[in-house]
Structure 1
Amino acid sequence: MSVESVNASGFAREGLDVLNRITESARGKVRRAAELMAHCVNTGGVIHAFGTGHSQALVLELAGRAGGLVPTNRLSIADLVLYGGADPSVLDDPLLEREPGVAEQIYGLASPRPEDLFVIISNSGVNNVIVEMALHAKDRGHRILAITSLSHTHAVPASHPSGRRLADIADVVLDNAAPRGDALLDMPGGGSVCALSTLTGVMLVQMAVAETASLMITAGVRPPVYVSANVPGGFEGNLHLEERYKGRIRRPAS
């Protein structure tokens, strides 16, 4: 890639090209993801979304936002402090997400039910806490939807003791098409700039939500969807919908 391509127009052009490709190539997998999500909601389940680092942006995109499904729950390493009583200083450890047992604690604090679905998001798909969460949820009978980069995950060693990656465990995998290392634009002399996974991940999440709504509507079921709290009646209406899932979904301050 030439130096002339390392600019705003270059990223827009390359990023849109990837988006156009995945909106076509991912349709079948998005449909399968939506089938998992619709089944979960229709059977009274909750969709638990988990990710670390910048993948938390996609957790927020799925769980608890206007236009999104109500029975969604955000899981985070911060839950150890928010709900588990751990000292806030534990979050200062940059290697915390590599520690064994962390995912099991986060899972336990959420108290999932068997009908609940787990959406686990990781660009690399090899981080210890990510793989541990997938394995723990799978062992307890949950279906797993993964959003990851297959290019990245197959280009790096598996770091979990099992030797497995998130993509190896999930029932359905949505490939965000991000390159190894995530950055899209190659710079002259080496290195690259401008991460892609959030852009493509948001597209995949919203495609899956749209397809889920379509499946439910076709089946004669009105999807429980959030209205913006900043329109008249939105806040009150959302509280009414949330009552169905009282004690099962959490809305921590962001």
Structure 2
Amino acid sequence: MGAGGKDEGRISAARFADEGRAAVERAIAANKESVAAAARLFADCVAADGVIHGFGTGHSQATVLEVVGRAGGYIPTNRIGLADLVLRGDEDRATLADPLLERTPGLAKRLYELAAPRPQDLFVIVSNSGVNNSIVDMALLVKEAGHPLVALTSLTHTNSVPALHPSGRRLAEIADAVLDNCAPSGDALLPLPDGNALCGVSTITSAMLVQMVVAESVGLLVAEGHEAPVYVSANLPGGHERNTVLEERYAGRIHRGGF
């Protein structure tokens, strides 16, 4: 049953739906200023003929896909992923079988170089914990190069764990705008009898925040007289052809590979 029902404490679909809705509402309420700040950065980037680069590892890649290359989202977006080492670098595909690849020293630098960003480009880095080495490495590289940076993380999680990077810094401490997905530490939402938990919520709240930023930033572009280069579904009549024409403006700068 829903909130207030006799099965309120039972593990169930209804309970997760209730808790998930509450998490979304918390994220919306907590991020009004952050959404506005991130939207300004998105709009300025697109207006300056920039590209929005999305980077994340593990399940955070699901949120990167909300930023990059989806129907209803921006066309000038580039996905940075570990597979770039093979797809656009010179690494053997066996490299990707290493379960600890994302912890490799110098990985972020190589991925940044393969992305070949221009000065006006913007980066969006997604990490629930915000403390993994490759994530912080990339954030530091991005800021050292002078790019604006939007972080999407869980402030509850990142503030509850030690900083792992040698710099002692976390993703949220480096970014120009921080979107808090309001996920609990560890992401899982429903407690289990053994003290663990299940049902991650960060992807749901993060998707909401990304789409809010897209909506707000497109509103800024339109109000300021700029074109908003947005994808339509390739499964609509003429959609693929329209998208292809717009993609040509960013030839060589936008990629959809990686995992």
TM-score relative to the length of structure 2: 0.95
Instruction: Please point out which of 247, 251, 254 is paired with 2:256.
Output: 251
**Using the alignment, how far apart are the partners of 2:170 and 2:9 within structure 1?**
37
1:24 deviates by 2.1
Question: What is residue 232 of structure 1 aligned with on the other side?
Answer: 237
What do the CA deviations read for 1:179-232 (whole angstroms, capped 9, x no partner)?
110100111231101001100010000000000111111112221000100111
* Residues 253 and 191 of structure 1: CA distance in aligned 2, closer, same or farther (over 3 Å): closer
**Using the alignment, how far apart are the partners of 1:251 and 1:22 within structure 2?**
28
Q: Which 5+ residue runs of structure 2 have no aligned equivalent?
A: 1-6
**Equivalences for residues 74-113 of structure 1 within 5 A:** 74-113=79-118
Deviating more after overlay: 20-29 vs 114-123: 20-29
1:3 deviates by 8.0
1:243 deviates by 1.1
**Equivalences for residues 30-69 of structure 1 within 5 A:** 30-69=35-74
Question: What is residue 164 of structure 1 aligned with on the other side?
Answer: 169
Which portions of structure 1, spanning 4 or more consecutive aligned residues, are displaced by more than 2 angstroms? Answer: 2-5, 251-254
1:27 deviates by 1.3
**Using the alignment, how far apart are the partners of 1:147 and 1:189 within structure 2?**
30
**Using the alignment, how far apart are the partners of 1:52 and 1:230 within structure 2?**
29
3-state SS in 2 of match to 1:158: coil
3-state SS in 2 of match to 1:201: helix
3-state SS in 1 of match to 2:186: coil
**Using the alignment, how far apart are the partners of 1:94 and 1:23 within structure 2?**
35
Does the 8 A contact of 1:5 with 1:11 survive in 2? no
Does the 8 A contact of 2:81 with 2:258 survive in 1? no
Question: What is residue 122 of structure 1 aligned with on the other side?
Answer: 127
1:25 deviates by 2.2
3-state SS in 2 of match to 1:77: coil
Instruction: Please point out which of 21, 29, 36 is paired with 1:24.
Output: 29
Question: What is residue 6 of structure 1 aligned with on the other side?
Answer: 11
Does the 8 A contact of 2:83 with 2:257 survive in 1? no
Question: What is residue 151 of structure 1 aligned with on the other side?
Answer: 156
**Using the alignment, how far apart are the partners of 1:253 and 1:188 within structure 2?**
38
**Using the alignment, how far apart are the partners of 2:95 and 2:257 within structure 1?**
19
**Using the alignment, how far apart are the partners of 1:253 and 1:141 within structure 2?**
24
3-state SS in 2 of match to 1:5: coil
**Using the alignment, how far apart are the partners of 1:47 and 1:7 within structure 2?**
38
**Using the alignment, how far apart are the partners of 2:161 and 2:72 within structure 1?**
36
**Using the alignment, how far apart are the partners of 1:199 and 1:82 within structure 2?**
29
Matched residue count: 253
1:253 deviates by 8.0
Q: Which 5+ residue runs of structure 1 have no aligned equivalent?
A: none
3-state SS in 1 of match to 2:19: helix
